[in-house]
Amino acid sequence: MFSQTVEYALRAIVHLADSAPDSQTKDEIAAATLVPPAYLSKVLQSLRKADIIQTQRGVGGGMRLVGTPETLTILQVVNAVDPIKRIETCPLGIRSHGKNLCPLHRRMDEALASVESAFGATTLSEVLSEPHGSYPLCSHPPVREGQLNILPTLPCAPQTDGTPD
């Protein structure tokens, strides 16, 4: 239902929210979120244009949230990169339907409205503080011998036997 761009944007924003108020470089974000750096650049550009993140060049620079995790919603992030497209008129172009959607398209639009409502009511702070057995973005690739670990240690739950919660 959601594009890869939305997934990548949410990963990046969750990482920035978790790091707030500190800045993170594009390379740090890419490594922490497993998002390809070239794709991440485009995603971050969209988030900057939407005034969700700000960038600073130079030593100590990087990206950080404009607001706080307590005020930024998932819906704001989604709409910055790939807005949810509600069904306002008949997608088939049937003139007699117009804004009076058929039962199928009305239900589809109601589902989209529910998603909008849920995402609009969920802040990044809530996502990060939700009591659950796992923590967003805590499974990083292992650091190989000789590599510098530039990633912060994230508070992950103990590894399980792989069975779902």
Q: Determine contact, residues 9/40, Cβ cutoff 8 Å.
A: no
Beta bridge partners of 65: 53
Of residues 39 and 101, the one with the higher pLDDT is 39
- 141 within a domain of the structure (yes/no): no
Average pLDDT, the chain: 81
Beta bridge partners of 63: 24, 55
The whole-number pLDDT of residue 96 equals 78
Q: For residue 135, name the pLDDT band (cuts at 50, 70, 90).
A: low
- 16 within a domain of the structure (yes/no): yes
The whole-number pLDDT of residue 157 equals 35
How far is 78 from 127, CA to CA, in rounded Å? 15
pLDDT at 139 over 70: no
Nearby residues of 121 by Cβ (< 8 Å), 6 or more positions away: 73
Percent of the chain whose pLDDT exceeds 90 = 48
- 114 within a domain of the structure (yes/no): no
The whole-number pLDDT of residue 107 equals 93
- 74 within a domain of the structure (yes/no): yes
Percent of the chain whose pLDDT exceeds 70 = 79
CATH number at residue 57: 1.10.10.10
- 75 within a domain of the structure (yes/no): yes
pTM reported for the whole predicted model: 0.76
Alpha helices in 64-154 (DSSP H): 74-81, 103-120, 124-129
154 φ/ψ angles, rounded to the nearest 5 degrees: -95, 145
- 155 within a domain of the structure (yes/no): no
Residues 113-126, mean pLDDT to the nearest whole number = 94
Domain that holds residue 8: 4-83+124-129
- 154 within a domain of the structure (yes/no): no
- 57 within a domain of the structure (yes/no): yes
What domain count does the chain have? 1
Residues 32-56, mean pLDDT to the nearest whole number = 93
How far is 13 from 136, CA to CA, in rounded Å? 11
Write the CA distances from 158 to 5, 14, 150, integer angstroms.
30, 20, 22
